[in-house]
Structure formats: C-alpha cells, structure tokens
Structure 1
Amino acid sequence: MLDRTIAPDIHEIDAVSLQIAEVTHLDNGARLHIIKNETQPVIRLDFVFKAGKWYEAKTGVSDLTAKMLMEGTVNYTAKQIAEKIGFFGASMDINHGYDRTELTVYCLSKYIDELLPLMLDILQNPTFPEEEFKLLKKRTLQTLKVQRQKNNYLATHALTKLIYGEDHPYIFGFDEHGLDDVELELLKQYYHEHYSTKDLEIFACGAVDDTMYQNFVTGISKLNLENGIKAESNNANKAIVSETNKKILVETPESLQSSIRIGRSFPLNNSEDYLKLKVMNEIFGGYFGSRLMKNIREDKGYTYGIYSAISPKEHDTLFFIGTDVKSSVTADTISEIKKEIARMQNELVPEEELSTVKNYMLGKFINDVTTIFEQCDRYKKVVLHNLSMDHYNNYITTIRNITPSEIQDLAQRYLNEDSLFTAIAGKN
C-alpha cells in the first residue's frame, strides 16, 4: 500500500530524449518530417514556407498574402473552405511570422485524407479574389487602428525601430499608414516568388501509420509551386542599427499609464552564449519569482507585472524588458530596472536563488515537452534555425552547470546601459 507520508524520490535531469523525425526528400524539392505517436488518434500537419516579413520588399505584403490564401481557390470559396474544415471538426490556420509562414491543420487522423487535398488546393490554386482582398484589407486596417491606440503596441513598435532602424523586417507591428498602398498585385507577385516547394518543410506528427505516410508522399509530391522565380530577401545585408539616440517617447496625452520597453539585440540562438543568456534572463525577469517582479511589483507596487524576454529569430535575437505602469512612476520604474541591472553586474547571484531558478527551468522544460505536438515544436525549431540535434541536451547541461560568475560576466557584457534602447508610450 502506498505510504503517503513518504515523499517520492527526487531524480536529477541529466538529458532529455526527444523524438527525431523520419525525413523524406520529395521529388518536388520539399522535405517531409514524420514524428509518429499513436497514443491519441490525432494529427497535426504543418507546411512551412520561407515567406515571412524577412522576404518582403514592402511592409505588410507577406502578412496579407498569407491571409489571402484562405480566401478562395479555383475549387472552393472562402465560405466553402471554412465549412469543410468545420464539417470534419478540424482546425486550420495560416500563421505568418518574421521569417516563415505556416499552414497548419489539427484533426482526427481518420480525416486527414479528406483535408490534405484541401490544404494542397489552398497552396496550389489560390485565386486572390478582389472583393475578398478589399474586405481583408479593410478589416486589417481597422484592427491596426485599434492596436495603435494601445501603449504597449506603440512602445514595442518604437523600441524595435530604435534597435533595427527604419523599414527593417523585424520591426514589430506597422506604422499608422503602413498598409494603405498595398495592392493586390503585390500579393500575387509575392506568392509566386516565395511560395516554393524548393525550400518547403512539412512536419507531420501524431498517429501517422504506413498507409498515411504513403498518402502524404504521393499527395504532397504532386504539389508544384515552382511557377515563379524564387526571389532572395532584400534584407539579407541589413545590419542592426546603432543610433546615437537611444531613447524615444511616443506621446499619448490622454493615457493614465505608460508602457515601458527596454531592449537590445542579442546573439543568435546557435551562438556560444545564447543558452547561458536564457538562464541569466530567467533570474532577471523571466518568471514570476524573478528579480524584476520581486522589486517592482511586490516591493514597490508600481505594476501588476513586469518581465524580460528573449525572442530568437533566424537572423537576430531580440532581448526586451516590458511593463505598464502609472504615468507618475515611469521614471522611478526605469530607475529600479537600472538598479536591478547593476545588481546583476556587481553582485554574484546567491547559490540558493540560482538553485531555485535551475530547478524551475528544468521542471518547466520537462513539462513543456509532454505531448507529441510540443516535441514536434522543439524539433521544428532545430530544423528551421539550423541548430544541433543536441541543442536541448546542451540546454539542460547549461542550466545545471552555469555558475554565478558566468552570469555576472554575461550581465556585464550584454546588459551594459550604453547598449540598451528605451521606448516609452504614454503621457509626457
């Protein structure tokens, strides 16, 4: 009989074993990655294209192009697409990002043979109907108008502009009139240039049996997206801008709160320091028990929440601190952030605090890879960011072995005040 008075044994996490996909190179140039798990009769299928903001010549084109794919094909109207997805109880989305665009479906595995032809039709035969484009653009402009009334949107947009410079693809959001002159022909051109099977990565995870695998190979091999010349990115040689102006205020005179964003560019996620920086960031502002939260939320009461985050992309990594505070304590909040940075730089992290963060990060990582979809997400990141297959074992090793002196050194090198940019949206 189980004795509940005795706590279970604690085991150290030495390594993690994530499933590695079976990779098939298809005749049309695409790569099919299969991760099998038949625990549940469900499947997720992702088509991932090099068609994000990084490749657009005009702001907003890649975003609107991705959304238009679901607005009608040679064989289906937008309404018919939605009805067919709903009939099978599935979920299908277009996810547009800075570097990639993904068409994703979640469904019961027994219905994937019905939905795969629909996905291929959406990718192969979009019609870009004029009326649907007008409605989409109108909705997007209205959403943008609403978003630009929010201080957190304006501050993040302004910060990324400070860091990257004007017109860089990694700028968050859009300018007020950034989408006004995007025309339908630009979307069609972008589709023909960047939706190519040459660089297409397809990830299937879940209850994939041998018959389904053969159907994937046969069906996807017929996808022909070499109908245009693959254009290279216009942003490949864009460097990070280091302006002398490190601070900006976006005035919103009627606002009672200010949104504060402080940040800079960090190394790529395949660099030597990246994994160590993840640990440093967790201590500083990465979780609810972080130093920023304890000081500015719990001790000073300036905010409901403050955080720091590391956002890796394929060509850069963004580090930023974010919070919303009452306008009258904006300067005090920034002062306290600087004090916490100075403490990271001048004092060694106590062993007890570091041990707590290590245990939290290891436990969270294990918790975050419990499902096949989450494991596929980790594998997908390795593929798309060209990381080592040992990346996550290296992550665990780094967490376990990092020392207080290493963290102090990282803070001195990467949180130097002269390297940080500050954007504030609120009342002057």
Structure 2
Amino acid sequence: MLNRTVAPKIIDPVQFDIKLPATKKYKLANGIEVFALDMGSEDTLMVNWVFSAGNWFENKKAVASATNYLLKNGTSKRNAFEINEHFEYYGSYLNRSCYNETAEITLHTLSKHINELLPVVAELVQDAVFPQEELDIYIQNSQQRLKVNLQKGEFVAGRLIDAYLFGEKHPYGTYNELGDYAAVQREDVVKFYNEYYKEGRCVIFVAGKLPIDIIDTLEKYFGQLPLKPRMGGAEVIQHPIQPADQKKYEVLNDPNGVQSAIRIARPFPNRHHPDFQKVMVLNNVFGGFFGSRLMGNIREEKGYTYGIYSYLLNFTSTSGWMVSTEAGRDVTAETIKEIYYEMEQLRDEPIDEEELSMSRNSMIGSILGDLDGPFQVIGRWKSMILNNVDEHYFDRSVQIIKTITAEELQELAKKYLVPEEFYELVVI
C-alpha cells in the first residue's frame, strides 16, 4: 500500500529514457508517402497534407498565400458557404497554412466521420475554381490587415530583419506590400494551383485513433490523383542569399512610440550542420527559456522588458539565430548593450553545473511536453521528415542535451556569439 507520509523520490527529467513513438510509412499508388501514427484513446483524428507550394515556388509575390487561402472558397460543385457548412456539420475543422517552402491543408475530425470528409478535401485539391469575388474579398482583407500590422513595431521588425539576413528577393526575406496583393490576378492563382496542388508534390501525415482502413481510404481518394511524391521539393529551385551590407539599422515607425522592437540576428546553418543540435543547448542557456541569461538579466534584474528570447529560425534551406524583444524607448540602447554583454559572458566563462543542469532539465521537459499526444508526436516526425533528417536525429538531440559539456558550449559561444556577425535592428 502506498505510504503517503513519505514524499516520492524526485527525478530530474534528464534521467528519463525518452523515445519518440514510431510511425508507419505507406505509399499510395501514385507514390505519395503517408506517415501514420496510431496513438491515443480518444476517437479523434488529424490528417495533414503538406504540399511543396510555399512562397519559395512563386514567381509573383502573394500568389502562394492567396492560392492556399482560397482553396476552401469554392469548387465547381460547392460555394464557400457550402464547403464550410459541410465541415462544420460533422464537427470538424479544416485549416490552411502557407509557409516558405510548404503549404498545408489540415483536417481535425472525429475518426468516424473521415469517409464523409476526405472526398471533399480531394475535391478542394483537384477542383477549386477560385471565384473572382472571393479573390477580391481576400485582397481587400489582406490589405486592411497589412495596414493595421504596419502600425506595429514588432511586425515591421520581423519583416525587415529577415530581409537583412537573406535579402529582399529571397523567399525567407521577402515581404508583401499593399500593391503586391492588388497585383494578384485570378489567372496567377489558377496557374499556381494547377502546378503545385493539382499536380503538385505532396506528403500526408495522419495521427490519432486511426480507423483500420485509413490507408485504404486515403488510397481511394488520393492515391489515384495526379500528385507526385515530395522528393524534389525546395531544393529544385535555388534562391541566392543576398544579405544586407550594413549591419545596424534604426527605423522610425511611430514618432510618438514609447516602445522599440529590437531584433539582433545572424545567419546560421541548417539542421544538417554538426553544430546545430549543440547550439540548441547553448541557445537555451542564452535566451531559450524563462530561466535564461537574457531573461534573468534584462527582464528580472533590469526590468527593461516583459520578455526576451533567442531562438534558431525554423527554416529548411538555411537558418538564423535571432534575439527578439520589445523594450522601452528610453532603455533601448542599454537593452542592446546587455544582450552583447551576455554573449561576452558565455564566450569568456564556462557555464556552471547548476545552470547547465537547469537548462538541460528545461529542454527535456519541453520535449516531454511535445510528446504529449498523437498530434504533437506527428508534428515532431513532420519536422524531421520535411528537413530530411533520419529517424535517429531525435535520439541524437536528446543525447546531446544530456551530455554536452560546459567547455563545448563555451567553444560554440566563441565561434558563433560574435557581435560583428549579427545584424542589429531597432524599430521605434
């Protein structure tokens, strides 16, 4: 019998033996890969179609995002209202998202309704008609949303820092202006749809309590479509990186603003570089969680900001290392000074064991949270698959978190936390 007078033994997360639940891989008749994870006790299901259809592939600004958004706004059989009503009738949710390399359709539903919903998703992939009136509404709404966002310093900072790192013409650095939306024509959208959706490259992820015939059902509705496997994605089109020559910028966005948006960033290799996973640990110490050095110094001690974080950009082709915060206009210079001070400290002195242990436990705890449920687990798999890393990448990451030394982290800091390599942007 459990003795409740004795406290249970406390075990640090780093002592846990963490394993990523396995997925099963299938191929449909047309070569489309399906990664399936049968996990969970609730009768819920997520199906995620990932197309090589991000802005990496567009020849005209805003076309990729417009195409992705308007997929749900009409086919030859149903108008936008009827499509939305169909998914709502079954208590499901269909979302669209457009990123740099990829664009997605994601369905959340009860498992028992999948046969009523998959045919309609297939209809969107093969028979979207993009009514002119829906495109006009999209353009109007996008322009209005952009006008509002351009008044926000943090939004402007996010646009500009990526442009400085990668170049305004690179898919990672480009940003839309009001005129770019107005220039989108229906024929642009239809052409992009035909090439990158109807006959595009696709991979499917499915997770939850899977029906026993889920692969046969996907084969029925998607295996016979003129889709192609995901191989030959973003790497088939090359975009040269053209970073800005200048390293420091200050932009006045609101003359009466009392707060500035600060972005300090440098280019960084992608996940295939041997230092990437190790730098994730260094980043966590630097600014990756609430107990980080940046947070302790600039938020807790100085009170310059409500929050400050550093992170590696989630891009496939290449990456970047970013520090992001908003601070009072009167303490902007001091905030930047303290960011560089923390870089210097990491270069000059090894991290003590207590701080490193706290950072390790934070990272392992975060991973445990990411594995809490089938949708989170398949998200981990999707990230690895789309970044073309093998199934051992997860295990290596956990092992590095548990074993990397303070000396190794100091060497990485000397190599990468070099102020001269960072772009510095302040938007007031």
Same fold (TM over 0.5): yes
| Displacement of 1:191 | 1.1
Displacement of 1:99 in angstroms is 1.0
Distance in 2 separating the partners of 1:262 and 1:218: 50
CA deviation profile, 1:204-261 (whole Å, cap 9, x unmatched): 11121322332222221132347xxx99869943333343301122212121111000
Name 1:3's counterpart in structure 2: 3
Once the two structures are superposed, residues 93-145 of structure 1 have per-residue CA deviations (whole angstroms, 9 ceiling, x without a partner) of 00111111110100100001101011100111000100010001100111111
Structure 2 counterparts to residues 282-321 of structure 1, below 5 A = 282-321=284-323
Residues 130 and 89 (structure 1 numbering): CA distance in 2 closer, same or farther, change over 3 Å? same
1:203 aligns with 205
Alignment-mate amino acid for residue 220 of structure 1: F
The one of 415, 418, 421 aligned to 1:416: 418
| Pair 126,277 (structure 1): closer, same or farther in 2 beyond 3 Å | same
Amino acid at match of 1:27: A
Do the aligned residues in 1 keep the contact of 2:23 with 2:37 (CA within 8 Å)?
Answer: yes
Distance 1:135 1:330, change over 3 A: same
Q: How do 1:377-416 and structure 2 match up within 5 A?
A: 377-416=379-418
- Aligned positions of 1:19-98 closer than 5 A: 19-98=21-100
> How many angstroms apart in 2 are the aligned matches of 1:388 and 1:150?
40
Q: Matched residues in 2 for 1:234 and 1:135: separation?
A: 34
Q: Distance in 1 between the 2:20 and 2:199 partners? A: 27
1:170 corresponds to which residue? 172
Assess, with a 3 A threshold, how the Cα gap between structure 1 residues 379 and 244 changes in structure 2: closer, same or farther: same
Change (3 A) 1:125 1:291: same
What displacement does 1:198 show?
5.8
5+ unaligned residues in a row in structure 2: which ranges?
none
Map 1:221-260 onto structure 2 (within 5 A). Answer: 221-225=223-227, 236-252=237-253, 253-260=255-262
| TM-score after normalising by structure 1 | 0.94
Q: Distance in 2 between matches of 1:99 and 1:233?
A: 6
- 1:423 and 1:314 map into 2 onto residues whose CA distance is 24
- Per mean C-alpha deviation after superposition, the further-off stretch among 201-210 and 170-179 is 170-179
SS at 1:200 equivalent: strand
**Quick check: 204-213 or 306-315, which moved more?**
204-213
Deviation at 1:79, TM superposition (A): 0.4
Give per-residue Cα distances to partners, 1:63-101, cap 9 Å, x unaligned. 111001011011111001111111111111001111111
Offset, 1:326: 1.1
| Residue 197 (structure 1) shift | 5.3
CA contact (8 A) 2:126 2:197 kept: no
Q: CA deviation at 1:342?
A: 0.7
Structure 2 contact 157–425 (Cα < 8 Å) conserved: yes
Are the equivalent residues in 2 in contact too, given 1:358–1:399 (CA < 8 A)?
Answer: yes
CA–CA separation in structure 2 for the residues paired with 1:352 and 1:234: 43
Deviation of 1:179 (Å):
2.4
Structure 1, unpaired ranges of 5+: none
Query: Which stretch has the larger CA shift, 2-11 or 162-171?
Result: 2-11
Kindly tell me: are residues 198 and 126 of structure 1, through their superposed partners in 2, closer, same or farther at Cα, counting changes over 3 Å? closer
Distance 1:234 1:403, change over 3 A: closer
Residue 265 of structure 2 contacts residue 320 of structure 2 at CA under 8 Å; is this kept in 1?
A: yes
Q: Percent identity?
A: 31
Contact 2:299 2:308 in 1 (8 A): yes
Q: Which amino acid is 2:293 matched to?
A: R
**Cα 1:343/1:154, change in 2 over 3 Å:** same
Q: What is the deviation of 1:423?
A: 1.2
The letter of the residue matching 1:45 is V
**C-alpha displacement at 1:14, in angstroms?**
5.8
Judged with a 3 Å threshold, the aligned counterparts in structure 2 of structure 1 residues 233 and 19 are, in CA distance, closer, same or farther, namely closer
1:18, CA displacement in angstroms? Answer: 2.1
Structure 1 match to 2:332: 330
Q: Identify the range of structure 1 (19-28 vs 96-105) with the bigger mean alpha-carbon deviation.
A: 19-28
Separation in structure 1 between the aligned mates of residue 292 and residue 363 of structure 2, nearest angstrom: 12
Amino acid at match of 2:304: Y
**What's the secondary structure of 1:179's corresponding residue?**
helix
Cα 1:150–1:392 shift into 2, 3 Å: same
One-letter amino acid of the structure 1 residue matched with residue 240 of structure 2? A
AA in 1 matched with 2:313: S
Conserved? CA contact 2:270–2:315, under 8 Å = yes
* AA aligned opposite 1:424: V
User: Are 2:181 and 1:154 equivalent residues in the alignment?
Assistant: no
**RMSD after superposition:** 2.0
User: Matches of 2:308 and 2:15 in 1, distance apart?
Assistant: 30
Distance 2:148 2:287 in 1: 29
How far off is 1:282 after superposition? 0.5
- Residue 184 of structure 1 is matched in structure 2 by 186
Aligned length: 423
> CA 1:235–1:292 in structure 2 vs 1: closer, same or farther (change >3 Å)?
farther
Question: How many Å separate the matches in 2 of 1:234 and 1:348?
Answer: 39
Going from structure 1 to structure 2, the CA distance change for 1:14 and 1:197 (only over 3 Å counts) comes to: farther
**Match of 2:345, SS?**
helix
